[in-house]
Structure 1
Amino acid sequence: MKRWMIISYFLTCQVGIGLAQGTSSEQVGISPWGPEDEIGTLNMMDEKSRLDVLSQISSGNVYDLSVEYFVGMPSFHALGDPAYQFWMTHTPKGTVVDNPNGLGEAMNLKVSYTGDAISMYTHMGTHIDALNHFGLNGKVWNGFSAEEYLGDKGWKKTGAETIPPVIGRGVLIDILALKQVDQLPENYRINSSDLREALAKQKVELQEGDIVLIRTGQARHYEQAERYLDKYPGINLDAVKWLVEDQGIMLLGSDNLSFEAFPPEREDNWVPVHTYLLAEKGVMFIEQMNLESLAEDGVYEFAFIGSSLKLRGASAAPMRPIAIPIK
């Protein structure tokens, strides 16, 4: 994306953030990519940008940045959302007993048949938030209103099915390593100074169109849901404003439950980072990533490749991103 387009974009979408005790002028951003735009800053990605990063791959080593799905995994149960459920629909022994295919005992003893099903909230495990996930005053990114575009089967605009496969230059910012501690303080808010200091320590510079992943270290506790969910650190408004407005990043991600820290840093908005990114700026982000292997090997620059499920009308979709080191 050209510099003048970046400047035009942020002038178009710019809104006042306000102090916690002050009034808010938050409103949804109108896309510089046109009235039908549903993917926001992912428009910064094109054939050339994808080819550029893929041509820099310097290793056949692949890092899986996703977590596993399992019964008992962390979830948003505090808000009333369903937990992950898994059940068997067919088992080798049950098929012999039930004979569901009508082929008889001999065939079902020979051919072992296993099948299963799941039920889950779309914002579980490693997933990307679509632009309809959070809005302001009844509208989501680009002015699409719930009154006009939200049907009984989900959103008619900005649903997860619109999210394209993502290929771009990825950058890991390791905040836990910067602080040289085993665990960040409870509810710690990562700020722009933290980001700048970590990048300087890593000797990495951000570029327009980057995919920036923030490591808090929280993924180390993913198997223990209560600890993973408890008072986790996250990014603050100052940090995301610096990344979006000053650095021109395309996509964000982190290893915690909900990207930003709680309790909210403002009194007039319970998810100010979410609404700033999704509703005001059209910037999607990935939550509940596993960034430990990248951090362990000191891989800070890489080709990011990720594709999400095309869940029509949904506000999020599971994603399995990978990272491949670049030169």
Structure 2
Amino acid sequence: MSEVAPDMRELGAELRNWGRWGTDDERGTTNLITPEALVAAARLVRTGKVFDLGIPLDGDGPQPGGNRINPIRLMSENGQEQVLPGGFKWADDYVFMPLQSASQYDGLAHVHYDGQLYNGHDGAGITVKGAQKLGIENQSKGIAGRGVLLDIARLRGVDWLAAGEVITPEDLDAAERAAGVRVGPGDIVLFRTGYRAKFLAERDPQSFMAGEPGLGLATARWFKERDVAVIGSDNWAIEVLPGEHEGALFELHMVLIRDMGMTLAELLDFEELAADCAADGVYEFFYAGPPLKFTRGVGSPINPLAIK
């Protein structure tokens, strides 16, 4: 564990975006995706190549059970016993799943501490009815724009980073240089650890969920200085686990979500996209990843697209 990781509460107070977009704001850093930024991002579509970044919604996912399970899909009608005019038959199915069991967004109501959510909203507003403030539906129009892939695994010359391996601001700088990009305001930054490749190779949910490589606390300042809108990863919790302070849990989540107001995308699949970026040298693209409009939801399944 790092001896230089900053104090979480001090860092959160330093980087806090409360009031930046008004005292009633419920969108946070997605406000940084301006109409001008969106128009510029659309110009990145040059070849029509499309990469889907969501993992399959099925029983073979990474959830080991307990708090979260893999999606369960059931047929409610298959048409086999139907006798309808003209031979018409129809089928329907439905899904039972945690909203955050596969590729998904952590919404701004997902994390709070010291009795407060992002922008000072009351933590007691998260009830059995859902989030009275900061529900994921507030992001329904806002998560599309310039995407940038920072391939940390390729930078370090490995198939995947090891659990507990910390990604630093210096790593992000080096990945930028390697990709020939500069992260800027309103960007959606995707960083690859290779952990999706690990899961596909091993098919071991317990090992996958036991820990992970990820961002260290110090990277929060890097993302704030660049005015990044959204962070996405191929691990399951964005940040390094075990964390950098013994006895603490999900400190970077608390700074990014509660203090900075940043929506996080987790459990994405970058393998096809990363291979293409390495082949053509283009690490920027149009990203489109709206959440589903679950009223008062604290997260949402997603299948984002990266379009070149």
Query: CA-atom RMSD, angstroms?
Result: 2.3
State the partner residue of 1:10: none
- Map residues 1-327 of structure 1 onto 2, 5 A cutoff: 24-25=9-10, 30-75=18-63, 77-78=65-66, 80-93=67-80, 95-96=81-82, 105=83, 107=84, 110-147=87-124, 149-163=125-139, 164-223=141-200, 224-226=203-205, 227-244=207-224, 246-267=225-246, 269-298=248-277, 299-325=282-308
Alpha-carbon distance change, 58 to 75 in structure 1, aligned in 2, over 3 angstroms: same
Alpha-carbon distance change, 65 to 213 in structure 1, aligned in 2, over 3 angstroms: same
Alpha-carbon distance change, 225 to 84 in structure 1, aligned in 2, over 3 angstroms: farther
- Look up the SS of the partner of 2:197 in the other structure: helix
- Look up the SS of the partner of 1:237 in the other structure: coil
Identity %: 28
Whether the aligned pair in 1 keeps the contact of 2:169 and 2:222 (CA below 8 Å) is: yes
Matched residues in 2 for 1:282 and 1:23: separation? 15
Alpha-carbon distance change, 123 to 196 in structure 1, aligned in 2, over 3 angstroms: same
Whether the aligned pair in 2 keeps the contact of 1:170 and 1:211 (CA below 8 Å) is: yes
Alpha-carbon distance change, 261 to 88 in structure 1, aligned in 2, over 3 angstroms: same
Q: Which amino acid aligns with 2:158?
A: V
Q: Which amino acid aligns with 2:184?
A: Q
Alpha-carbon distance change, 21 to 36 in structure 1, aligned in 2, over 3 angstroms: closer
Greater mean alpha carbon deviation, residues 196-205 or residues 36-45: 196-205
Q: Which amino acid aligns with 2:136?
A: A
**Unaligned stretches of 5+ residues in structure 1:** 1-17, 97-104
Matched residues in 1 for 2:168 and 2:95: separation? 38
- Look up the SS of the partner of 2:273 in the other structure: helix
Q: Which amino acid aligns with 2:115?
A: G
Alpha-carbon distance change, 232 to 20 in structure 1, aligned in 2, over 3 angstroms: closer
Where relative contact order (Cα < 8 A, 6+ residues apart) is larger, the structure is 2
Whether the aligned pair in 2 keeps the contact of 1:74 and 1:222 (CA below 8 Å) is: yes
Q: Which amino acid aligns with 1:126?
A: S
Whether the aligned pair in 2 keeps the contact of 1:92 and 1:108 (CA below 8 Å) is: no
**Unaligned stretches of 5+ residues in structure 2:** none
Matched residues in 1 for 2:190 and 2:6: separation? 31
Matched residues in 1 for 2:34 and 2:17: separation? 22
Whether the aligned pair in 2 keeps the contact of 1:73 and 1:225 (CA below 8 Å) is: no
Q: Give the TM-score normalised by structure 2.
A: 0.88
Q: Give the TM-score normalised by structure 1.
A: 0.83
Deviation at 1:253, TM superposition (A): 0.3
Alpha-carbon distance change, 221 to 23 in structure 1, aligned in 2, over 3 angstroms: closer
- Look up the SS of the partner of 2:171 in the other structure: helix
Task: Render the CA deviation track for 1:209-262: whole Å, top value 9, x for unaligned.
Answer: 211100011122445242533432111111232122x22211110011111121
How many residues were matched structurally? 295
Matched residues in 1 for 2:270 and 2:173: separation? 19
